[in-house]
Amino acid sequence: MSATPSSKLPPFDPVDPLGLDDLLSPEDLAIRDTVRSWAADRVMPHIADWYERGELPGIRELARELGSIGALGMSLEGYGCAGASAVQYGLACLELEAADSGIRSLVSVQGSLAMYAIHRFGSEEQKQRWLPGMAAGEIIGCFGLTEPDHGSDPASMRTYAKRDGGDWVLTGRKMWITNGSVAGVAVVWAQTDEGIRGFAVPTDAPGFSAPEIKHKWSLRASVTSELVLDEVRLPDDAVLPGVTGLRGPLSCLSHARYGIVWGAMGAARSSFEAALEYAKTREQFGRPIGGFQLTQAKLADMALELHKGILLAHHLGLRMDAGKLRPEQVSFGKLNNVREAIEICRTSRTILGANGISLEYPVMRHATNLESVLTYEGTVEMHQLVLGKALTGLDAFR
């Protein structure tokens, strides 16, 4: 079989050097472009200021806009959700995190954690009560699993729910909860005499409070809170009936981690593109720094890891759509892609030199955000041990 003459080959595209867009359907591309356009219009002109101020103003308006483009719970079926494919949801996460990790976290917690938990494990009444409003962005949700003293070990959580007649009474604290202080419903996981159960907690319930966490140096354009449950009394129908045990929250986390696999590549792409453009225009010693061998080596290595990461994310998305994606494979993707994304941001910063620390460029913002993304929903060490156990059959968690 003869090679195609170079004159007939498509031109090399520095933005898509492997031609990965050829893997996407017209509908995939339309969804990606819709989210990209929304982020460019509504987030990018303001994000540096929001980040510097350490706030996300107008979060409820942003949520409604995200609902209007179908980005909330977009891979779920029914109840006003878009019913998009896993690949399409991943593309949306990539575009949102290319703007800022905090925006992608808003969407991930809403759709892949809070809405996913209710959709998969909730009663029909709970689904009807919460999901349409959440899909529209009229109700913001949060997901309470992590505790102040128990991050990577949720089985040791201290939040407890006890029965009192026909009611449940919840007491405990959750920490580092995205959307917490603006949520209308909190999906809270608690120990019970029956095992770990999930509860759909209206945030106006007496005894519930969500003080916002301040003084963050990462995910600054994001609402992060503590949840305090002081004998919150709930009716029996607040419990999610479809699951008991850690399988419930861990399956939600796996769904959210899948979005991170894509999202981290968005932060990496944004940083890489900033470095590439800078290298072509910044002159030193009489010529653009992109013409020096060491700079080209950095750009080539970053492009390799960026597009390998997108290929990995796409592969995992196809497996999810086929119903074949295992939690260990999600760990594979999260461990690789977030770790490589941080390295791409750091290398991009070296190309930008001192300008790399300025909020006039996105690189340092992405790098600091990714330090949080590296930790939440499973630290590096936890995902290494998940893969180690899968590879050896030996459990190193004990």
Catalytic residues: 377
Handedness of CA 372, 373, 376, 378 (dihedral sign): negative
Nearest to 170 by CA among 182, 157, 160, 180: 160
| CA pair distance 110, 75, nearest whole angstrom | 12
Residue owning tokens 């509504």? 42
Nearest to 102 by CA among 66, 74, 147: 66
Contact 249, 196 (CB under 8 A): yes
Contact 376, 224 (CB under 8 A): no
Sheet holding 224-235, edge to edge: 160-164, 167-178, 224-235, 208-209
Structure tokens at 174: 């959750």
Nearest to 171 by CA among 184, 190, 155, 186: 190
Other beta carbons less than 10 A from residue 389's beta carbon = 15
- Compute the chain's Rg from CA coordinates: 22
Residue owning tokens 């009229």? 138
Alpha helices in the chain, H assignment, sequence order: 26-42, 47-53, 59-68, 86-99, 101-108, 116-121, 124-135, 247-281, 293-321, 327-352, 363-375, 380-392
| CA pair distance 315, 277, nearest whole angstrom | 29
Structure tokens at 68: 């209007």
At 325, give phi and psi (nearest 5°).
-80, 120
Contact 146, 268 (CB under 8 A): no
3-state secondary structure of 265: helix
